[in-house]
C-alpha cells in the first residue's frame, strides 16, 4: 500500500481565518490537513485509505483527541500520535497514545504503516513539499526547522506587509540579506554581504533570464506581488541545481493547489515622494480556484514609481599623474612644469621623477564636483498564470507562466566642474593633507584652484526597457516508495538601454574644495573666473551623444529527479536516496551602437543661452535644488529629443562591440538522507555530491583585430555537501553543514570583447579562459524554537574562497589615438591592457549571525500581540580590495555589520509595524583602480499599519525612509566626502479587498 508523509506547511489563508474547518474542507483528507495545521503537526496517511471519504461534523474548540475521534470513528479509522506527528490507519484504537521520544515506533502496531515515509525527506530537493508556497510568518519559522540546510524564508503575506518598492527591498528582512540602494530604491541583493554575483537566483527552481548580459538576476525589475514565497539557502545540498558561493535565493510563484479554498484578492495603492511631490499608482490582483482534479491561478500587478533625487557627487580623488606626465609638445610640457612648480611652492613637495607613477599617483586632487537633480520614473508590470492537474495524490502536473516588463527613465540635470580637464593644471593650493594617509604616503590637495577647469552642463537621459517571460512544466509522480519529478523550462529576457547626453562646456579658472557633505566649486582669485551657476551664455554646445545596447538572454532547462524513501519496519529510522540529472543551455547576446551629433556649421558657436532653457525648479517636480542654495539653467531632455530625434532613433550596431556567450551545463547528483534517533535524540544526516560538466563558447571582436573571434572552453567540477541536525531536547536544534560551492565567472568577463576607459588610458579585454571561483565552507548553529512560534538562533560560518578573479595587467599598446568628446583629437597615448584572471590565492570570510523572533506576549501578558524580530550579522575577512597602490580596504561590497529589526503589534482589528535596517560602511568601488571609495553607513526606518475594516476590506498605510536618511560616500576617510544624495521620504495608502 502506497503511504506517504505530508508535511503540512500552510496555515489557513486569510479567507479561512474567519471560517471553521468544517466549512473550509469537504473531504476528510482536507479536514485532517487543516486540523493538523491548527495544531502545528505533520500527518501521515494512505491516500487510498482516505480516498472519497467525506468529513463528519466535529465539535469546534475541543482538544485534538476529541476532534480526531469525531472525524475518524465514523469511517472505522484510528490514529496515533508519535514524535513525528499524527498517523492515520485502520485497526484497533490503541489504549493510549504512543509517547514522544520512545525507542519503539508506533509503526509497529500495524504492518500497513511500514512504508510510511516523510515527504520532507522524500521529495525535499526535487520541488519541495507540494503545499509549501502558501506560508505565514509562523510557517516560515517551521520551514526553517524542517529543512536540513541553513535557510530562511519569507511568505507573500510578510513580503507585502513590509514597506517596499520592489522585490529587492522586500527581501531585506530575511536574515543574512543586505541590499544596495541607489537613488532611494533597492537595486541589488547581497547575501551575507558578498557581491550579488556570488548569489544564485532561481524562480520555480529554474534559472531566470533578466537581460543583464550577465549571470546575475536583476531582481529590481520584478514586482513583489507576483511572488508567493522566497527561500534563502545559506548552505548547500547536492539537489540544488546550481550553487552559489554566497548561497541560493529560490523564488516560488503561486499555484492553485497551494490554496485550500477559492480566493480573490485585489489591492489598489497610491504613493507620494516628498521630493518629487507627485502621486504614483499601484494595482495588483489575484484569483485562484480548484475544480476537483484541476486548478487555476492568475495574478497581475502593475506599479508606477517616480522619485526625485538631489545629489552632489563625483568628488573623487584623481592622481596628479594626470598633468605631471604631460610631454610631447610645448603646451603639454608647460602643464607638467606648472603642476610641479605649484606643488613645490604651496606644499614644499618636490617630485623626484614625474614618470614614476608610484610617486605621482600618491598625490591626489579633486577630480570633479557635480550637482545633480534627477527624476527617476519606473513602471513595472508582471503577470503569472498557473494550471495544475492533480490525480488524487499520485500525480501532479503543473504549468507555470510568468511574463512582465520593466520600463525606467532617469532624467538627470547636472552642472559640474571637471578639474581634471586635459588642458588645465594647478594654479594655487589653498589646503592639503599629509597626515591622514601618511602610512601610505598619500597627499590630498583638498582645496585647489585650477587654470582651465572644464565646466559642464549635462542633460542626461537613461532609458531602460526590459521584457521577460518564464515558462516551466513539471510532472510529479508518487509511486509507492518512489517520487519522480521531471521538468522543462524556458526563460527569455530582452533589455534595451538608451543613454543620451547633451553637453555644454566652458573652460576657465575656478576653485574646487571639499566641504562637510561632499564638495563645492566657486570662483577663484583669477579675474577671469566666473560663477558657473550664473553663466549660461558662457557654456558652448559640445555634443549630443547617444549610446544604445540591446541584450537578449535565453535559458533552456530539462531535468529529472527521483527519490526512494523507506521507513525500516522495526525502527524509527528513515532512509531516502535521491538522484537526478539536469541539462541547461544559456545564450546571451549583446549589441551596442553609438553616435555623436552636432549642430550645423552655421550654428557651430551656439551657446546654452541660445536654446530654450529652464531652471531646475521648473525642469523637475519638487521645486528648487534641496542640498545647496544654488540654481542653474539648462535644456530639458524633452526639448533636445524633439530637436535631434523627433521620431525616435535606433542606431546601427558597432561590430567591434558585439559579443555572444553560449553555455551548456550537464549536472548529475546523488544524495542520501538518513533520519533516526540516538539516545532518544532525533537526528538527521544529509550527504551528497553533484558533478558539473560545463562547455562555454565565447564570440566577439576586439578593436585591434578584424572579424569575429570565437573560443570554446570546457571544465568539470565535483562538489560535495554534508548537513546534519540533532534535537538535544524538545525544540533545541544543533545544526552543522559543510560543502563546496562555486560561482562561475561573469559572462562579460569571459566574452571576446574590448572596452576602452579613455580617462584611465586603459583597455579591458575579456578572457574566455576564466574558471569559476570556489568556496570551501562550513557553518555551525544552534536554534531554539518557542512554543508560541518564535525563534532564537545563532550560527558561526566560514568560507574559504579560492580562484579569485582579479584584474591583471597583460600588456601595453603604444601611441593610441585618443579623442575628445567633441570628436577632436586629444593626442597619442600609451594604453595599458587589462584582463580578468584567476589568481593563485585564497582568502577567508567568517561571520556570526544572530536571529530572534520573539512574541513578547509569551512572557508578559500585557504585551500580547507584540512581536520583536531582529537579525544581526557580523563579518570578518582576510582579503584586501583590488587597489593598484595596495591601499588597505576590504573587498567591494563587504559590510562588516548588518542589522534588521522590526516591532510588530497585531490585534484582531489592526496591525502596526516599525522596521529599521542598517548596513555599516563598505567599499563601493575603486576609483581609477587605486583609491577605494566607501559607501557610508546607512540606516532607515520604515512604518506600516493595516486596519481590518471587516472580513473583506483592509486599509494599508506605509512609510519608507521616515528618518529621511541620505546616501553618502567618501574617499578612504570621511574627511574627504565623495557623494551626498537625498531621495526623500515615501508615503503610501492602499485598500485591499479579499474574498
Residue 1 sits in the same domain as residue 77 = yes
The structural domain count of the chain equals 3
Kindly state whether residue 504 falls inside one of the protein's structural domains: yes
Query: Per residue, what are the HEC states of 882-938?
Result: CCCCCCCCCCECCCCEEEEEEEEEECCCEEEEEEEEEECCEEEEEECCCEEEEECCE
Of 638, 189, 651, 162, residue with least CA distance to 377: 638
Of 672, 677, 566, 673, residue with least CA distance to 82: 677
Kindly state whether residue 959 falls inside one of the protein's structural domains: yes
d(Cα 472, Cα 204) in Å, to the nearest integer?
8
Residue 361 sits in the same domain as residue 373 = no
d(Cα 22, Cα 56) in Å, to the nearest integer?
8
Kindly state whether residue 155 falls inside one of the protein's structural domains: no
d(Cα 188, Cα 178) in Å, to the nearest integer?
9
Residue 533 sits in the same domain as residue 482 = yes
Which CATH number belongs to the domain containing residue 789 in this structure? 2.40.170.20
Helices (H) and strands (E) counted in the chain, each on its own, are 15, 47
Residue 433 sits in the same domain as residue 485 = yes
Query: What is the pLDDT, as a whole number, of residue 115?
Result: 30
pTM: 0.81
Kindly state whether residue 739 falls inside one of the protein's structural domains: yes
Q: Examine the fold and report which residue of 81, 116, 151 is the final residue of a domain before the chain moves on.
A: 116
Query: What is the pLDDT, as a whole number, of residue 207?
Result: 74
Kindly state whether residue 532 falls inside one of the protein's structural domains: yes
Neighbours of 112 (CB within 10 A): 15
The x, y and z cell numbers of residue 46, run together, are 494512505
Of 164, 141, 168, residue with least CA distance to 152: 141
Residue 349 sits in the same domain as residue 374 = no
| Spans of the chain below 70 pLDDT | 1-26, 37-42, 45-48, 51, 56-63, 65, 80-85, 89-139, 210-211, 213-214, 568-572, 600-604, 702-707, 759-760, 820-823
Q: Examine the fold and report which residue of 366, 381, 401 is the final residue of a domain before the chain moves on.
A: 366
Residue 329 sits in the same domain as residue 387 = no
Query: What is the pLDDT, as a whole number, of residue 132?
Result: 42
CA distance from start to end of the chain: 40
Residue 446 sits in the same domain as residue 336 = no
Residue 519 sits in the same domain as residue 630 = yes
Q: Which domain holds residue 351?
A: 317-366
Query: What is the pLDDT, as a whole number, of residue 709?
Result: 81
Kindly state whether residue 208 falls inside one of the protein's structural domains: no
Q: Examine the fold and report which residue of 366, 382, 399 is the final residue of a domain before the chain moves on.
A: 366
Residue 765 sits in the same domain as residue 632 = yes
**Radius of gyration, alpha carbons of the chain:** 31
Residue 395 sits in the same domain as residue 358 = no
Residue 800 sits in the same domain as residue 853 = yes
Query: What is the pLDDT, as a whole number, of residue 139?
Result: 66
Kindly state whether residue 5 falls inside one of the protein's structural domains: yes
Q: Where are the beta strands (DSSP E) in 730-824?
A: 732-743, 754-757, 762-765, 773-785, 791-802, 805-819
d(Cα 375, Cα 393) in Å, to the nearest integer?
53
For the stretch 451-497, pLDDT in tens is 999 999 999 999 999 999 999 999 999 887 888 999 999 999 999 99
d(Cα 190, Cα 514) in Å, to the nearest integer?
31
Residue 853 sits in the same domain as residue 713 = yes
Kindly state whether residue 180 falls inside one of the protein's structural domains: no
Amino acid at each position: 500500500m502506497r503511504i506517504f508523509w505530508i508535511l503540512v506547511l500552510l496555515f489557513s489563508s486569510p479567507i479561512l481565518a474567519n471560517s471553521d474547518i468544517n466549512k473550509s474542507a469537504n473531504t476528510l483528507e482536507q479536514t485532517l490537513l487543516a486540523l493538523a495545521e491548527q495544531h502545528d503537526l505533520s500527518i501521515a496517511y494512505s491516500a487510498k485509505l482516505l480516498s472519497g471519504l467525506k468529513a463528519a461534523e466535529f465539535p469546534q474548540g475541543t482538544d485534538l483527541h476529541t476532534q480526531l475521534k469525531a472525524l475518524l470513528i465514523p469511517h472505522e479509522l484510528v490514529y496515533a500520535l508519535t514524535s513525528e506527528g499524527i498517523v492515520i490507519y485502520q485497526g484497533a484504537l490503541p489504549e493510549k497514545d504512543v509517547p514522544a521520544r520512545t525507542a519503539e515506533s508506533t509503526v509497529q502496531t500495524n504492518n500497513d504503516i511500514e512504508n510510511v515515509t516523510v515527504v520532507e525527506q522524500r521529495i525535499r530537493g526535487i520541488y519541495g513539499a507540494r503545499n509549501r508556497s502558501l506560508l505565514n510568518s509562523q510557517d516560515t519559522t517551521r520551514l526553517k526547522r524542517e529543512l536540513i540546510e541553513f535557510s530562511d524564508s519569507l511568505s507573500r503575506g510578510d513580503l507585502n506587509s513590509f514597506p517596499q518598492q520592489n522585490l529587492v527591498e522586500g527581501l531585506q528582512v530575511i536574515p543574512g540579506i543586505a541590499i544596495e540602494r541607489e537613488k532611494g530604491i533597492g537595486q541589488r541583493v547581497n547575501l551575507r554581504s558578498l557581491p550579488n554575483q556570488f548569489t544564485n537566483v532561481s524562480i520555480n527552481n529554474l534559472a531566470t533570464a533578466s537581460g543583464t548580459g550577465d549571470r546575475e538576476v536583476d531582481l529590481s525589475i520584478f514586482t513583489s506581488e507576483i511572488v508567493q514565497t522566497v527561500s534563502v539557502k545559506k548552505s548547500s545540498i547536492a539537489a540544488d541545481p546550481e550553487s552559489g558561493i554566497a548561497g541560493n535565493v529560490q523564488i516560488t510563484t503561486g499555484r492553485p493547489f497551494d490554496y485550500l479554498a477559492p480566493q480573490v484578492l485585489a489591492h489598489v495603492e497610491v504613493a507620494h515622494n516628498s521630493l518629487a511631490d507627485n502621486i504614483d499608482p499601484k494595482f495588483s490582483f489575484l484569483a485562484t480556484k480548484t475544480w476537483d482534479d484541476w486548478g487555476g491561478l492568475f495574478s497581475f500587478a502593475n506599479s508606477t514609481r517616480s522619485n526625485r533625487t538631489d545629489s552632489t557627487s563625483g568628488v573623487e580623488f584623481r592622481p596628479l599623474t594626470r598633468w605631471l606626465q604631460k610631454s610631447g609638445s610645448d603646451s603639454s610640457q608647460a602643464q607638467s612644469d606648472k603642476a610641479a612648480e605649484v606643488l613645490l611652492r604651496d606644499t614644499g613637495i618636490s617630485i623626484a621623477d614625474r614618470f614614476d607613477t608610484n610617486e605621482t599617483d600618491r598625490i591626489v586632487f579633486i577630480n570633479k564636483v557635480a550637482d545633480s537633480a534627477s527624476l527617476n520614473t519606473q513602471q513595472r508590470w508582471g503577470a503569472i498564470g498557473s494550471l495544475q492537474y492533480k490525480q488524487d495524490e499520485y500525480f501532479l502536473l503543473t504549468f507555470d507562466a510568468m511574463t512582465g516588463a520593466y520600463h525606467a527613465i532617469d532624467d538627470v540635470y547636472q552642472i559640474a566642474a571637471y578639474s581634471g580637464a586635459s588642458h588645465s593644471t594647478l594654479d594655487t593650493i589653498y589646503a592639503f593633507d599629509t597626515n591622514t594617509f601618511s602610512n601610505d604616503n598619500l597627499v590630498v590637495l583638498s582645496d585647489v584652484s585650477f587654470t582651465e577647469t572644464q565646466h559642464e552642463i549635462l542633460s542626461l537621459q537613461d532609458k531602460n526597457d526590459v521584457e521577460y517571460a518564464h515558462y516551466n512544466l513539471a510532472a510529479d509522480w508518487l509511486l509507492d516508495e518512489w517520487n519522480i519529478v521531471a521538468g522543462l523550462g524556458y526563460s527569455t529576457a530582452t533589455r534595451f538601454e538608451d543613454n543620451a547626453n547633451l553637453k555644454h562646456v566652458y573652460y576657465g579658472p575656478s576653485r574646487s574644495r571639499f566641504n562637510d557633505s561632499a564638495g563645492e566649486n566657486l570662483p577663484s582669485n583669477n579675474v577671469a573666473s566666473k560663477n558657473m551657476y550664473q553663466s549660461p551664455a558662457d557654456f558652448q554646445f559640445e555634443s549630443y551623444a547617444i549610446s544604445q545596447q540591446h541584450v537578449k538572454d535565453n535559458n533552456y532547462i530539462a531535468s529529472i529527479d527521483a527519490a526512494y524513501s523507506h521507513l525500516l519496519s522495526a525502527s524509527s529510522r528513515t532512509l531516502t536516496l535521491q538522484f537526478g540529472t539536469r541539462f541547461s543551455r544559456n545564450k546571451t547576446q549583446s549589441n551596442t551602437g553609438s553616435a555623436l551629433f552636432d549642430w550645423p556649421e552655421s550654428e557651430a558657436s551656439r551657446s546654452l543661452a541660445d536654446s530654450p532653457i529652464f531652471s531646475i525648479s521648473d525642469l523637475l517636480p519638487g521645486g528648487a535644488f534641496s542640498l545647496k542654495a544654488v540654481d542653474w539653467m539648462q535644456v530639458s531632455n524633452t526639448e533636445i529629443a524633439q530637436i535631434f530625434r523627433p521620431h525616435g532613433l535606433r542606431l546601427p550596431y558597432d561590430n567591434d562591440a558585439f559579443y555572444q556567450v553560449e553555455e551548456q551545463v550537464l549536472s548529475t547528483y546523488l544524495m542520501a538522507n538518513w533520519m533516526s534517533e540516538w539516545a532518544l535524540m532525533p537526528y538527521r544526516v544529509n550527504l551528497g555530491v553533484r558533478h558539473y560538466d560545463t562547455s562555454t563558447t565565447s564570440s566577439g571582436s576586439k578593436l585591434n583585430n578584424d572579424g569575429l573571434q570565437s573560443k570554446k572552453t570546457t571544465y568539470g567540477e565535483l562538489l560535495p555537501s554534508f548537513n546534519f541536525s540533532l534535537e538535544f531536547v524538545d525544540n533545541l536544534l544543533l545544526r552543522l553543514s559543510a560543502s563546496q560551492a562555486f560561482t562561475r565567472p561573469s559572462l562579460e568577463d569571459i566574452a571576446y570583447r574590448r572596452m576602452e576607459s579613455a580617462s584611465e588610458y586603459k583597455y579591458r579585454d575579456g578572457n574566455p579562459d576564466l574558471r569559476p571561483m570556489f568556496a570551501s565552507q562550513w557553518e555551525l548553529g544552534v536554534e531554539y524554537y518557542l512554543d508560541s512560534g518564535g525563534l532564537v538562533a545563532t550560527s558561526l560560518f566560514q568560507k574559504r574562497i579560492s580562484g579569485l578573479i582579479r584584474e591583471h595587467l597583460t600588456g601595453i599598446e603604444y601611441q593610441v589615438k585618443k579623442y575628445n568628446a567633441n570628436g577632436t583629437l586629444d593626442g597619442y597615448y600609451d594604453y595599458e591592457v587589462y584582463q580578468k584572471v584567476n589568481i593563485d590565492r585564497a582568502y577567508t570570510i567568517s561571520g556570526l549571525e544572530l536571529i530572534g523572533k520573539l512574541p513578547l506576549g509569551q512572557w508578559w501578558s500585557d504585551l500580547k500581540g507584540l512581536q520583536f524580530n531582529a537579525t544581526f550579522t557580523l563579518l570578518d575577512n582576510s582579503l584586501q580590495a583590488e587597489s593598484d597602490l595596495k591601499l588597505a580596504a576590504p573587498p567591494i561590497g563587504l559590510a562588516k555589520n548588518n542589522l534588521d529589526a522590526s516591532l510588530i503589534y497585531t490585534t484582531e482589528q489592526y496591525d502596526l509595524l516599525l522596521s529599521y535596517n542598517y548596513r555599516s560602511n563598505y567599499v563601493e568601488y575603486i576609483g581609477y583602480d587605486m583609491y577605494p571609495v566607501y559607501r557610508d553607513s546607512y540606516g532607515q526606518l520604515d512604518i506600516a499599519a493595516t486596519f481590518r475594516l471587516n472580513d473583506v476590506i483592509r486599509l494599508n498605510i506605509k512609510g519608507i525612509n521616515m528618518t529621511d536618511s541620505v546616501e553618502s560616500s567618501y574617499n578612504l576617510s570621511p574627511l574627504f566626502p565623495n557623494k551626498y544624495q537625498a531621495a526623500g521620504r515615501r508615503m503610501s495608502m492602499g485598500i485591499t479587498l479579499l474574498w
